[in-house]
Amino acid sequence: MKPEEIQKIAEIEHDMRMAYKYRINVCCSSGCIPFGAQKLLKAFEEAVKELGVQNVCKVARTGCVGTCSVAPVVLIDPGNHLYQNVRPEDAKKIVQEHVVNGRILEEFVYKNEAYFSKQYRLILRNAGKIDPLRIEDYISVGGYSALAKALTQMTPEQVIYEVTVSGLRGRGGAGFPTGQKWNFVAKSTAKPKYVVANLDEGDPGVFANRTLAEADPHAIIEGMTIAAYAVGAEKGYIYIRSEYPLAIQTLRKAIEQAKSYGLIGENILGSTFNFDIDLRLGAGAFVAGEETAILSSIEGLRATPRPRPPYPAVSGLWGKPTLINNVETLANVPLIILNGGAWFSKIGTPKCTGTKCFSLTGKVRNPGLIEVPMGITLKEVVYEIGGGVPEGRKFKAVLVGGPSGGCLPESLLSLPIDYESLTQAGAIMGSGGIVVIDDESCIVDTARFFIDFCMDESCGKCVPCRAGLPKVREILDKIMEGGGAVDDLKVLEELCYLIKDVSLCGLGQTAPNPVLTTINYFKQEYLSHILDKKCPAGKCNIKKMEVVKE
Amino acid sequence: MSTYPKTVTDKRLFLIDKTIAAHGYRRDALLEILHVAHNIYGYLDKKILLHISEMLRVPPSQVYGVATFYNYFKLKKPGSHAITFCLGTACYVKGAEEILSAVEREFNVKRGETSADGKISVFVTRCVGACAMAPNVIIDDEMIGKATKETVLEKIKSLL
């Protein structure tokens, strides 16, 4: 295929899209399918036929719209009308009223303006709008034109320059400048080189990467291919969790389609550049998302991290230079190439450009998947987008950054979301989980839950993480059972800092964060367990100490 | 190549062999092959692991090491019905633990184990990614969102 042909497909597809007056997008992502999305898709297809409007109304399967709490949802264009909690038996009524009579059915309409108005949908721009299983849909909205631009009009150095100028930083959590990373790999002279797209989203409570893969798989493939061109790699792997069957299926199909169109494979778009992509499945190991552990896992070994240096940019997969990027990072790349790094650098804050996807869950009224510009405050996310905690309950804390993130109190809600501010507060950006807890949850129990998780997922390679975390858990257990002493808090803190300082990889270095932040911000709650033998949330089973009267 | 008697040859093993051949007997395909075997059998026991070890010429210790490292692989044959509890953060915050304990008590089965009559197995997983509908329980292949103690117990009873 030639670059002009992409343009041609885009035009044809665009005309085909325009031929329909209405487009009913039925969300068929992992969030909606358990609640009958596929039956709903069928019901709409039948309803359109039955009412004889198949020539003016297109029914399409799409990825996640983001409002997972009111699943299943349907998005009708033009006008972006979002219908919530739609059942298959409602399909006919909706088509009759909306398409035939041109009347919007108010009783189904999602009425939460704030949920969308505060968001900036850049990476998720196509989510809910295109059919993820059709590469033509992606091409029709400008897909693969960035790849064509990079291959025909830019040198690898220019591509890296644009990414550097954009200020894009790794979305996997650590926030390393992407352009710099690409530069390291490009400068390595050893061959062959590899590109690994990290989709091992192991954090409980996080589903942003999955949603991206299910809604817009070609954005990942295009970004990855541009990255490969920039660093000079010929082989790429997408490493994905096996717990995401739909995302795996969608990506498999997308890779197949891209191959058949000549967008990956040999002599891409008539150039001399070759690049091939394979999927690799994880198998339920949280640590496998760590930059060096992912390499071991792709090599078929236990996913244990390796010491750095040497960095993967020098010695990665099978000892060769390897570029590892999170899929969300890669999905930004086509936009940067098309619009220029300078354009991208204006979004977000000067130090932290672009947007970030978050899975907003826990005790909020509107849980779901959101994308916000960097620098937005936690308060805006929790209260304006999330709608605050449900009635009758009181906000207690917000957990940012997954099991190795931090618990932040109400007083820190005005904190802007960027890498530095979160790290300073003791949390991390992580993979983008925001879980809100209310006064029903015990803060000590929450900290123990995360320690439990990290303990389970510790690979066992280095001692501080393997032996230290069980010790932390032991102390937390003691406090929860009512046997804690005030000195225990000091021991806990010391132990946590030790684990942070001397662990080999990111898991151990961040695992103590929930304990440290809860002791820092919710000391009173620890003290009431220890001194008053009371759990304010009424969650812990504190043993009543028998007072023996003599 | 296999050491066990030809008379009990399990046809499913041929499928595994085919996969191994398709990967060109590459040792670094071990994880991929374990996935295929797990899909075919639903679990990986000693027999299967030894077979893979021989075919790939990887020491049994390494095959066992990899299979036990990853939580996704079940090492024992599960019961006829699988009840999987999501214990991700969102589900935990919304009370998944209470539902799980209730099921353990009611059916006398512990997490990660199978009931004495072999009818139900209770599994725990870390996040199925449907956090907006938390708590989630997966019974066989059906996902129950916004689960309560009552709906889950009732559903399991209806299966038995």
Largest CA-CA distance found in chain B, in angstroms, rounded? 53
Specify the DSSP element, H or E, that contains A235: strand A235-240
Choose among B62, B66, B134: nearest Cβ to A361: B134
Choose among A68, A204, A299: nearest Cβ to B127: A204
Q: What pLDDT score does A35 carry?
A: 84
**Chain A residues closer than 8 Å to B28 by CB:** 298-301, 318
Q: For chains A and B, count residue pairs whose Cβ atoms are closer than 8 Å.
A: 134
Look at residues A133, A385, A116 and name the one whose alpha carbon lies nearest to residue A255.
A133
- Rounded CA-CA distance B71/B139 in Å is 19
- Rounded CA-CA distance B18/B20 in Å is 5
Look at residues B131, B77, B4, B102 and name the one whose alpha carbon lies nearest to residue A207.
B131
What are the residues facing A278 on neighbouring strands? A237
Q: How many residues does chain A have?
A: 550
**Chain A residues closer than 8 Å to B74 by CB:** none
Are the beta carbons of A112 and A234 closer than 8 angstroms?
Answer: no
List the 199-258 stretch of A: residues with Cβ below 8 A of B. 201-207, 210, 242-244
Q: How many residues does chain B have?
A: 160
Provide the CB-side half-sphere exposure for A83 (13 A, CA): 26
Looking at domain A355-438, which CATH architecture does it have? Answer: Roll (3.10)
pLDDT tens, N- to C-terminus, chain A (550 residues): 888 999 999 999 999 999 999 999 999 998 888 888 999 999 999 999 999 999 999 999 999 998 888 889 999 989 899 999 999 999 999 999 999 999 999 999 998 888 999 999 999 999 999 999 999 999 999 999 999 999 999 999 999 999 999 999 999 888 999 999 999 999 999 999 999 999 998 888 888 999 999 999 999 999 999 999 999 999 999 999 988 889 999 999 999 999 999 999 999 999 999 999 999 999 989 999 999 999 999 999 999 999 999 999 999 999 999 999 999 999 999 999 999 999 999 999 999 999 999 999 999 999 999 999 999 999 999 999 999 999 889 999 999 988 889 999 999 999 999 999 999 999 999 888 999 999 999 999 999 999 999 999 999 999 999 999 999 999 999 999 999 999 999 999 999 999 999 999 999 999 999 999 999 999 999 999 999 999 999 888 886 554 444 4
Interchain proximity B90–A361, CB inside 8 Å: yes
Q: Which residues, 6 or more positions from A250, have their beta carbon under 8 angstroms from its beta carbon?
A: A132, A133, A213, A214, A217
Interchain proximity B133–A453, CB inside 8 Å: no
Among 3.30.2030.30, 3.40.30.10, 3.30.2010.10, 3.10.20.740, name the CATH number for the domain at A20-112.
3.40.30.10
**Chain B residues closer than 8 Å to A300 by CB:** 27-32, 66
Q: Does A30 touch chain B (CB under 8 A)?
A: yes
List the 331-390 stretch of A: residues with Cβ below 8 A of B. 359, 361-363, 367-369
**Chain B residues closer than 8 Å to A35 by CB:** 133, 145
Interchain proximity A301–B126, CB inside 8 Å: no
Look at residues A388, A345, A353 and name the one whose alpha carbon lies nearest to residue A373.
A353
**Chain B residues closer than 8 Å to A243 by CB:** 72, 125, 127-129
**Chain A residues closer than 8 Å to B94 by CB:** 362-363
Interchain proximity A301–B143, CB inside 8 Å: no
Q: Which residues, 6 or more positions from A488, have their beta carbon under 8 angstroms from its beta carbon?
A: A475, A478, A479, A530
Interchain proximity B31–A281, CB inside 8 Å: yes
Q: Does A453 touch chain B (CB under 8 A)?
A: yes
- Rounded CA-CA distance A406/A402 in Å is 8
Q: What pLDDT score does A544 carry?
A: 57
Task: State which residue of chain A sits closest to B126, comparing Cα positions.
Answer: A204
The CA-atom distances, in angstroms, between A548 and each of A378, A483, A485, A545 are 49, 17, 20, 9
Choose among A31, A242, A281: nearest Cβ to B132: A31
Q: Determine if residue B38 is left, alpha or beta; phi over 0 gives left, psi from -120 to 50 gives alpha, anything else beta.
A: alpha
Burial class (CB within 10 angstroms; exposed 0-12, middle 13-18, buried 19+) of B108: exposed
A217-231 and A178-187 helices cross at what angle (nearest 10)?
Answer: 50
Interchain proximity A303–B69, CB inside 8 Å: yes
The CA-atom distances, in angstroms, between A312 and each of A221, A236, A276, B103 are 21, 14, 20, 46
Task: State which residue of chain B sits closest to A301, comparing Cα positions.
Answer: B66
- Rounded CA-CA distance B101/A169 in Å is 43
Are the beta carbons of A83 and A70 closer than 8 angstroms?
Answer: no
Determine the distance in angstroms separating the CA of A205 from the nearest CA of chain B, rounded to an integer: 5
CATH 3.40.50.11540 describes domain A142-345: yes
- Rounded CA-CA distance A286/B126 in Å is 9
Q: Which residues, 6 or more positions from A3, have their beta carbon under 8 angstroms from its beta carbon?
A: A148, A151, A152, A269, A270
Q: What is the DSSP string of A140-166?
A: HTTTTHHHHHHHHH--HHHHHHHHHHH
Could you give phi then psi for residue A157, rounded to 5 degrees? -65, -40
Q: Residue A257's Cα: distance from chain center in Å? A: 24
Task: State which residue of chain B sits closest to A370, comparing Cα positions.
Answer: B132
Structure tokens at A371: 């994308």
Determine the distance in angstroms separating the CA of A382 from the nearest CA of chain B, rounded to an integer: 14
**Chain A residues closer than 8 Å to B69 by CB:** 285, 302-303, 459
Best of B36, B49, B126, B127 to mutate (most A CBs within 10 Å, chain A) = B127
Determine the distance in angstroms separating the CA of A288 from the nearest CA of chain B, rounded to an integer: 9
- Rounded CA-CA distance B34/B66 in Å is 9
Which residue numbers in chain B have pLDDT < 50?
1-2, 4-8
**Chain B residues closer than 8 Å to A71 by CB:** 132-133, 145
Annotated domain spans of chain A: 20-112, 142-345, 355-438, 443-530
Look at residues B141, B31, B37 and name the one whose alpha carbon lies nearest to residue A245.
B141
Provide the CB-side half-sphere exposure for A470 (13 A, CA): 6
- Rounded CA-CA distance B31/B29 in Å is 6
| Cβ neighbours of B112 (radius 10 Å) | 11
**Chain A residues closer than 8 Å to B129 by CB:** 30-31, 201, 206-207, 210, 243-244
Are the beta carbons of B13 and B51 closer than 8 angstroms?
Answer: yes
Best of A294, A317, A318, A361 to mutate (most B CBs within 10 Å, chain B) = A361
- Rounded CA-CA distance B102/A197 in Å is 41
- Domain A443-530, CATH: 1.20.1440.230
Determine the distance in angstroms separating the CA of B129 from the nearest CA of chain A, rounded to an integer: 5
Q: Which residues, 6 or more positions from A398, have their beta carbon under 8 angstroms from its beta carbon?
A: A378, A382, A407, A408, A413, A434, A435, A436, A437
Q: What pLDDT score does A499 carry?
A: 97
Are the beta carbons of A63 and A249 closer than 8 angstroms?
Answer: no
Choose among A207, A242, A301: nearest Cβ to B129: A207
